[in-house]
Structure 1
Amino acid sequence: MAFFPIIFMPGLMGDFMKYLPMTVIVVLGSSLLVALAINPVFCGYFLNVSPRQQRRITEGGGGFARLQNWYTRLLQFATAHALASTLVITAVVILGIAAFALFGREPLFFPDLDPERARITVEAPQGTPLRYTDEAVLEVEELVRSTPSSLDSYASIAGSDGSNAESHRGRVDVTFVPFNERSIRGRDAVRAIGRRLGTVTGALVSIEEADEGPPTGNDISYEVRGTDYEVLGEISAQILSILQRYPEFRTSDTDYEPGRPEYAVRIDRGRAAFHDVTTANIANTVRSAINGATVGTFRHNQDEYDIVVRYQESERDSAVALRNVMVVSNDGVRVALSSVAEIEPQSATGVIKRRNMSRAVSVWADFDAGITNRAAITREIESRVDAIRTELPRGYAIGSGEGADIRDESTEFLLQAFVVAIFLIFIVLLAQFNSLADPFIILFGVFLSLGGVMWGFAFARLEFVIIMSGIGCIALAGVAVNNCIVLVDYTHKLIANGVPWRQAVIEAGRTRLRPVILTALTTVLALVPMALGISLDIRLLQIQFSSESAEWWRAFAWTMLYGLSFATVSTLVAVPSMLSLKYGWKERHAARTAARHAARAGTP
């Protein structure tokens, strides 16, 4: 039930994370089938033990017997002071939450992994000829080759950003060797290459790490919306200047592109009519001169190639030559283009993005790894951006960018999924125990597990990763209640068999101590390799002590480990104490009810 809501996580993050709950649900369903149908058969066939062995299994060995006796004395004291015990445990959990708020590290949205790839972007001024862009890309390639790094390969392209053909753009994609073979971390290599890119002249060159996993957006992101693209560029430049003041950012940029230079051919229809030249003829002549015209095909073996005729490069790149292009009139007379049209230089916008039917420009920045004061920097930047908001022209606004939207959506869903998981568990417990008090006692174990998570992350100084640790907290909601169910259910059985409730509460804790400890211990031990980053390479059949997959799941494992360990220990005291409060209140209520009935019966 706890994992079921995670399947419906929205967006790309949900497409990436939904396989975890689906796998867990299938595995738990299979284990339930094995426990109900197969294990009883195996136990009945193989588990033939003597009475002495049965007594040893029930009572335990010498070490466990001493632990059991000590726990019984603790339980007698705790149930005798049930209210105080419950309040003390609650206070410890609240102190854990406060300790995390005061001493814990700032949360991260997603694990900060060592990059496997990096992308270097070369952007020259608009209208830069392709040959100059190619020279800058070749210079970047040389810097990549000469910089010490765990380089595996690189690929470059000039005259395109990977999607659109633009002569002033180029790109170099760098790939590092696998994680375990790196002598230099990918992030260190990116920094080293980035420091040397400043020597490239004639173009703006930047490097950024490729995202690993689902897209999580940028750490800081704003979106400027309005009508005039030039005004949007001015506002985005103000925000970008604020971001560039902070050395804690490894990259900061905007998608605003200044207008590229171009020539506009404006046809004078009067002069064109005088020379008997149509607008279509003028357009076709200019297009053929610059882009070329297909005049035939050339066949070589079984392949055909177009034959394209156009002006030489020196003529295509000259405004003077463009003005002298000859256009043939309907009478066959050759007329210069300057006689029928005006050729004027102008600036044109290449790309305009829209959001909610408004033009938008994005500005973003990403923190470098290891920055511990992210929240303080974010608040400081937000206050400065708020100052810009107060001076915006009418019709313009600064809102959150894509990164903030992704984080808000995923965080809000995890909170909703946690509430839904608690509700589903509560419904199942309500149907099982036919009581309102018992489900609340059992769900108190979830509260205890969250306290353990907070204590663990606060004192271990680990980063609380919102996605992975959040899923771990939801998983704890389903795991932490198991021990509580065992204690409550066995207490009910003892009371149904005629055992007084005070004795039943203590006897249930004493008898179920072994399965509670073993259940928690096996789960915790299974999580230790994941928490420490130990994994098995199936391909090489080698044990690895650090890997990319281990970095993904480390926060999830520590969340489960801290929460389950604390919840197990505290549950063994808290649940019997709360059961004592419940049965004590019922006993007093029954006594008062009986006294009232007796008083009514004695009244003449």
Structure 2
Amino acid sequence: MAVTFTPYLGVKMLRDVPPEQRHSHEGIYQTPLYQRLRTVVAWCVTHRKTVVAGTVGLLVISAIGMAKVVPKQFFPSSDRTEVLVSVYLPQGTSVRVTDQTVRRLEAILAPMPEVKTLSAYVGAGAPRFFISANPEPPNPAFGKLIVVAHDEAARDRIIATLEEHIRSGEFAEARIRVARLLYGPPVAWPVQFRVFGPDPVQLRAIGYRVREIMAANPHVVDAHLEWDERVPVLALRTDPDRLRLMGLTPQDVAQQLQTLLEGAPVTQLRVGNRTVELTARGALQGGRVSADTLGALEVLNRDGRKIPVAQLGTLEVRYEEPVIKRYNREPFVAVQAEVRGAQPNDVTAAVWQALAPLRAELPEGYRVAIGGSVEQSEKANLSIQKLQPLMVAAMLVFIMLQMRSFAGTFMVVATAPLGLIGAVLALLVFWQPFGFVALLGLTGLAGILMRNTLILTQQVADNFEAGMAPFEGVVEAAVQRARPVVLTALAAVLAFVPLTHDSFWGPLAYVLIGGVAVGTAITLLFVPALYALWFRIRPSAPAC
């Protein structure tokens, strides 16, 4: 059965078109537009080495631009209307002092007309209400406020007002962090470096040096150590032999002091359908403990005699580490900061390079590692790379089944990275960052361009089977397939335009728009030139 020509799908086999219909379909490609396209493609095929070299050069420049110029990010900021206000006071601060600071912030926020709802949490973080909002662990020196604004403009005004109060020095006793929600996995601080080592004092000393180098970066704001201050504690230094003569053991003294000072559970009470522990503790005036009040406390020995604490040993003030954090069971201190005017990944890379001299002279057993957004980015990329080899293998199998030659498979795969040229151009023109979402778009872009190459190379094979000379067959294939390839690319570009205004999908949309538009144009010129270079096709070559 004869195959008819459908203009919107391209040219079928010329030998399968009835003679009476050939004149009508051949006339489509005789218009001035197609004639100019034929001239351009013929020039590219004639100067194939120049075209291939130029395309490879553009690809190299784009790769360098992606690595050096395009801003990097992990996940974009959320468009939700919540404002997160974190209050960090020095370690060892009483929860009452933390509550006073939080109430002062509430007094500023509550009268603002932009505030829709306001919640405050003292001594711990807020419950998880968003995937990227990690609840902070219990800490008397920490407070959290969740402010919900009416809209995004109101949210920005709330942030500006709070930052103005903070800059004026109203909360000099605390570190106040005002932030928005972020998409993606939780990241406590965008820029973070972990200093590992066995000695907390040495860790703190190295952390100070890391903090100074971080603070020298103009885009780093509020560089600080995650745990820094040592807190004073009252310690009772005892002699075990002396305690034994008094009829006590160190465990007896510790348990009784725990009950007197902090309290100990003695029983449980039933309140409705809940069980509540009843805790007994000693009554201290104002809840404060000093050397005099602690020395006046009395403990019971095994004979039931009361012995003042002052007779048990010597009371002294010591300074201890309130927090020692571990990562994979190894002690570390995190040096972290906020970012302004740049992307966290770019700032982290710049600071990491500046830390090179310090890292080279660290003592044995100490090292510095990257955390923050860069660490989470690497974890997210690894989740893609786990299945990527399998998908690449499956893709190559399908391409081989279609092309049935290693040369054809090579030409199809060679066009996969060409989308990077247009993607980098679009990201730079619209100054969009490249992150995890944009990486997904770049991965899908490779498939779109390889599909266009498959269509084009198949048309070349069809032209050869129809009896065309090699040079004319390659040129005419690009001309014949230009319309369906360009129209599908244009449809894809227009489909992604609405996503450019979305805060989450915006970078992906720009990558696909630039990659499809520029990549399609390059493919129509690069593939014929590569085909002619690979098979050594010249204008004067005889017909097959």
The alignment's TM-score, normalised by the length of structure 2, stands at 0.80
Give 1:174's aligned residue.
146
Give the distance between the partners of 1:380 and 1:284, measured in 2 at CA. 52
1:132 to 77, 82, 97: 97
Instruction: Report if aligned partners of 1:190, 1:207 keep a CA contact under 8 Å in 2.
Output: yes
Instruction: Report if aligned partners of 1:501, 1:583 keep a CA contact under 8 Å in 2.
Output: no
Give 1:4's aligned residue.
none
Q: Per the alignment, do residues 155 and 565 of structure 1 end up closer, same or farther by CA in structure 2, a change over 3 Å counting?
A: same
Q: Per the alignment, do residues 232 and 296 of structure 1 end up closer, same or farther by CA in structure 2, a change over 3 Å counting?
A: closer
**Cα RMSD for the two superposed structures:** 3.9
1:334 to 302, 306, 315: 306
Q: Which has the higher helix share?
A: 1
Q: CA deviation at 1:485?
A: 1.0
Give the distance between the partners of 1:374 and 1:283, measured in 2 at CA. 49
Q: CA deviation at 1:204?
A: 3.8
Matched to 2:109, the amino acid is V
Give the distance between the partners of 2:314 and 2:478, measured in 1 at CA. 95
Which stretch shows the higher mean deviation, 233-242 or 157-166? 157-166
Question: Helix, strand or coil for the counterpart of 1:551?
Answer: coil
Matched to 1:479, the amino acid is I
2:194 is the alignment partner of 1:220: no
Give the distance between the partners of 2:418 and 2:470, measured in 1 at CA. 24
Q: CA deviation at 1:225?
A: 1.4
Q: CA deviation at 1:90?
A: 4.4
Structure 1 unaligned runs (5+)?
1-50, 534-549, 592-604
Instruction: Report if aligned partners of 1:105, 1:461 keep a CA contact under 8 Å in 2.
Output: no
Give 1:151's aligned residue.
115
Q: Per the alignment, do residues 59 and 567 of structure 1 end up closer, same or farther by CA in structure 2, a change over 3 Å counting?
A: farther
Across the two proteins, how many residue pairs are aligned to each other?
513
Give 1:501's aligned residue.
470
2:411 is the alignment partner of 1:441: yes
Instruction: Report if aligned partners of 2:260, 2:282 keep a CA contact under 8 Å in 1.
Output: yes
2:297 is the alignment partner of 1:359: no
Alignment of 1:338-353 (within 5 A): 338-353=310-325
Instruction: Report if aligned partners of 2:471, 2:537 keep a CA contact under 8 Å in 1.
Output: no
Give the distance between the partners of 1:449 and 1:213, measured in 2 at CA. 25
Give the distance between the partners of 2:231 and 2:98, measured in 1 at CA. 15
Give 2:446's aligned residue.
477
Instruction: Report if aligned partners of 2:82, 2:155 keep a CA contact under 8 Å in 1.
Output: no
Q: CA deviation at 1:332?
A: 3.0
Q: Per the alignment, do residues 403 and 83 of structure 1 end up closer, same or farther by CA in structure 2, a change over 3 Å counting?
A: closer
Give 2:485's aligned residue.
516
Give 2:128's aligned residue.
none
Give the distance between the partners of 1:589 and 1:109, measured in 2 at CA. 53
Instruction: Report if aligned partners of 2:114, 2:158 keep a CA contact under 8 Å in 1.
Output: yes
Q: Per the alignment, do residues 166 and 174 of structure 1 end up closer, same or farther by CA in structure 2, a change over 3 Å counting?
A: closer
Q: Per the alignment, do residues 75 and 385 of structure 1 end up closer, same or farther by CA in structure 2, a change over 3 Å counting?
A: closer
Q: CA deviation at 1:527?
A: 1.3
Give 1:569's aligned residue.
521
Give the distance between the partners of 1:298 and 1:579, measured in 2 at CA. 84
Q: Per the alignment, do residues 326 and 466 of structure 1 end up closer, same or farther by CA in structure 2, a change over 3 Å counting?
A: closer
Give the distance between the partners of 2:113 and 2:71, measured in 1 at CA. 30
Identity %: 22
Instruction: Report if aligned partners of 2:110, 2:118 keep a CA contact under 8 Å in 1.
Output: no
Q: CA deviation at 1:95?
A: 5.6
Instruction: Report if aligned partners of 1:121, 1:207 keep a CA contact under 8 Å in 2.
Output: yes
Give the distance between the partners of 1:580 and 1:235, measured in 2 at CA. 61
Which stretch shows the higher mean deviation, 577-586 or 409-418? 409-418
Give the distance between the partners of 2:473 and 2:32, measured in 1 at CA. 20
Q: Per the alignment, do residues 367 and 516 of structure 1 end up closer, same or farther by CA in structure 2, a change over 3 Å counting?
A: same
Give 1:200's aligned residue.
171
Which stretch shows the higher mean deviation, 68-77 or 490-499? 68-77
**Deviation sequence 1:567-598 (CA, Å, 0-9, x none):** 2222223323333344545999999xxxxxxx
Matched to 1:523, the amino acid is A
Instruction: Report if aligned partners of 2:416, 2:446 keep a CA contact under 8 Å in 1.
Output: yes
Instruction: Report if aligned partners of 2:81, 2:155 keep a CA contact under 8 Å in 1.
Output: no
Give the distance between the partners of 1:194 and 1:157, measured in 2 at CA. 20
**Deviation sequence 1:385-409 (CA, Å, 0-9, x none):** 3444455444333333354433345
Q: Per the alignment, do residues 351 and 73 of structure 1 end up closer, same or farther by CA in structure 2, a change over 3 Å counting?
A: same
Give the distance between the partners of 1:81 and 1:353, measured in 2 at CA. 64
Q: CA deviation at 1:273?
A: 3.1
Give 1:37's aligned residue.
none
Q: CA deviation at 1:58?
A: 4.9
**Deviation sequence 1:474-527 (CA, Å, 0-9, x none):** 111110011211121122123224333333323333332332222212211211
Instruction: Report if aligned partners of 1:105, 1:372 keep a CA contact under 8 Å in 2.
Output: no
Instruction: Report if aligned partners of 1:445, 1:571 keep a CA contact under 8 Å in 2.
Output: yes
1:396 to 352, 361, 366: 366
Question: Helix, strand or coil for the counterpart of 2:415?
Answer: helix
Question: Helix, strand or coil for the counterpart of 2:432?
Answer: coil
2:66 is the alignment partner of 1:119: no
Question: Helix, strand or coil for the counterpart of 1:499?
Answer: coil
Question: Helix, strand or coil for the counterpart of 1:120?
Answer: strand
Matched to 1:559, the amino acid is V
2:288 is the alignment partner of 1:317: yes
Matched to 1:572, the amino acid is L
Give the distance between the partners of 2:394 and 2:113, measured in 1 at CA. 51
Give 1:456's aligned residue.
426
**Deviation sequence 1:406-443 (CA, Å, 0-9, x none):** 33455677789878766654443233222222122223
Instruction: Report if aligned partners of 1:220, 1:365 keep a CA contact under 8 Å in 2.
Output: yes
Give the distance between the partners of 1:579 and 1:500, measured in 2 at CA. 14
Give the distance between the partners of 1:60 and 1:189, measured in 2 at CA. 65
Q: Per the alignment, do residues 576 and 199 of structure 1 end up closer, same or farther by CA in structure 2, a change over 3 Å counting?
A: same
Matched to 2:225, the amino acid is T
Alignment of 1:400-419 (within 5 A): 400-410=370-380
Matched to 2:41, the amino acid is L
Matched to 2:489, the amino acid is A
Structure 2 unaligned runs (5+)?
1-17, 126-134
Give 1:28's aligned residue.
none
Q: CA deviation at 1:231?
A: 1.9
Instruction: Report if aligned partners of 1:133, 1:158 keep a CA contact under 8 Å in 2.
Output: yes
Instruction: Report if aligned partners of 1:272, 1:278 keep a CA contact under 8 Å in 2.
Output: yes
Matched to 1:248, the amino acid is H
Give 2:106's aligned residue.
141
2:240 is the alignment partner of 1:276: no
